[in-house]
Amino acid sequence: MPLEDCRVPIIPVMNLKGGVAKTVTTVALAECFASHGHRVLLIDADHQCMAGELALGEERQLQCETRKRNFYDLLVRMLDDDFDSANLGRFVAECGSNIQGGLATLSVLPCSIRIDDIQTNVAKAKKGFKTTEEFQRIWGRRRRQMQAWMRSTFDFVLVDCPPSLAQQVKFLLSIADSFIIPTVPDRLSVRGSKYLMSRLSTLGYAVSGLGTLWTLYRQQNSMHKAMVAAAERQEPSLDRLPKPFRTIIPNATKIAEATDVDTPNTPASFSAKYTPQFARLFEDVCQEIVQRSHWQPATGEAVRAKVPKVQTT
Ligand SMILES: Nc1ncnc2c1ncn2[C@@H]1O[C@H](COP(=O)(O)OP(=O)(O)OP(=O)(O)O)[C@@H](O)[C@H]1O
Ligand SMILES: [Mg+2]
């Protein structure tokens, strides 16, 4: 589906380089949209399960694992002949985030460590399934159901990805509209972004890059400054990267502290959680996402866009 026509962006946040702030950024953007009244689905597609833990806290994350309400168990259930898309919502935890004790419009599909070995686990659990091709064929039939559910239930779907093109990432890429690449403006992270772009093209994914998001930026690091400037000049060595967002997320202790899950607190607002200075930056990124994805609130649903910070142009 062309980006121009899409009302509900489904956006994986990915980079083949680890540690570039994919998880922290994805959770903050999900909280930002949700705290502005938008219905958001945050999918944790990483076996580390950190986005789920950041959004739900350790206890709820563990409950989701015990009760088999997570992305892994959803993918397994989808392989059953009698799978009914009306049950998709049962795998999702409501009211994610510690902001106000939970944001009413933030739904979370947490992950499970079992996703790490999905083929072996499923083959063991379900007799008759043996090959990747068999899984892909069935998920291929299911993906449109999942996409339809997402589009009818949420305003934004953000996916925290592992630093790899794991099975579950490929599944989501097949229904995604575009992706965001958080990148530290240094050589290795940029290389991870380039690897990702070339891998996606080799594998033939039609999904396009919504933008490169500079993260963990340090003003005093001359390499960071040079890399950002080179991208602005559209230097040929960087021209394969999606166009960087104007907003840059700095390396800031306050952002790291805000996501410290051992700190049991209930911030009164998104701004209180991240401090007004950094909350504003995440809001600016959300606004750029809205603009670049040509997102429109559905007719008669303007209440969801009630906070004017995230406006369409
Ligand atoms: N803007 C920021 N300022 C300071 N620290 C940050 C910021 N964003 C993330 N961090 C810290 O950087 C580290 C890596 O962040 P994060 O886990 O989000 O990276 P990741 O790309 O998801 O890693 P992985 O590839 O392992 O999934 C964490 O310790 C996190 O607290
Ligand atoms: Mg991560």
Distance 156 CA to ligand 2 centre (A): 19
Domains of the chain: 3-289 (3.40.50.300)
| pLDDT given for residue 137 in this prediction | 81
User: Pocket residues for ligand 1 (CB within 6 Å)?
Assistant: 18-24, 46, 48, 50, 163, 215-216, 249, 251-252, 255-256, 259
Distance 255 CA to ligand 2 centre (A): 15
pLDDT digits (tens, 9 = 90+) for 89-139: 999 999 999 999 999 999 999 999 999 877 776 766 666 666 677 777 888
Count helices and strands (H / E) in the chain.
11, 6
- Range 226-234, long-range pairs (CB < 8 A, 24+ positions): 227/185, 227/186, 227/187, 227/190, 228/185, 231/185
From CA 247, how far away is CA 282, in angstroms rounded? Answer: 8
pLDDT digits (tens, 9 = 90+) for 191-240: 999 999 999 999 999 899 999 999 999 999 999 999 999 999 999 989 88
Minimum-distance ligand 1 atom for the alpha carbon of 278: 1
Distance 23 CA to ligand 1 centre (A): 6
Q: What is the mean pLDDT of the chain?
A: 88
- Which residues are in the CB-under-5-Å shell of ion ligand 2? 22-23
Q: Give me the helix-helix angle, 270-292 and 22-35, nearest 10°.
A: 90
Distance 19 CA to ligand 1 centre (A): 5
From CA 264, how far away is CA 189, in angstroms rounded? Answer: 32
What pTM value is reported for the model?
Answer: 0.92
pLDDT at 309 over 70: no
Minimum-distance ligand 1 atom for the alpha carbon of 20: 21
Distance 18 CA to ligand 1 centre (A): 9
The pair of three-digit structure tokens given for residue 44, joined into one six-digit string:
């944790």
Mean pLDDT over residues 289-313, rounded? 55
From CA 177, how far away is CA 158, in angstroms rounded? Answer: 11
Instruction: Pick the ligand that lies closest to the CA of residue 51.
Output: 2
Instruction: Pick the ligand that lies closest to the CA of residue 182.
Output: 1
Atom 25 (ligand 1): residue with closest C-alpha? 18
Instruction: Pick the ligand that lies closest to the CA of residue 14.
Output: 1
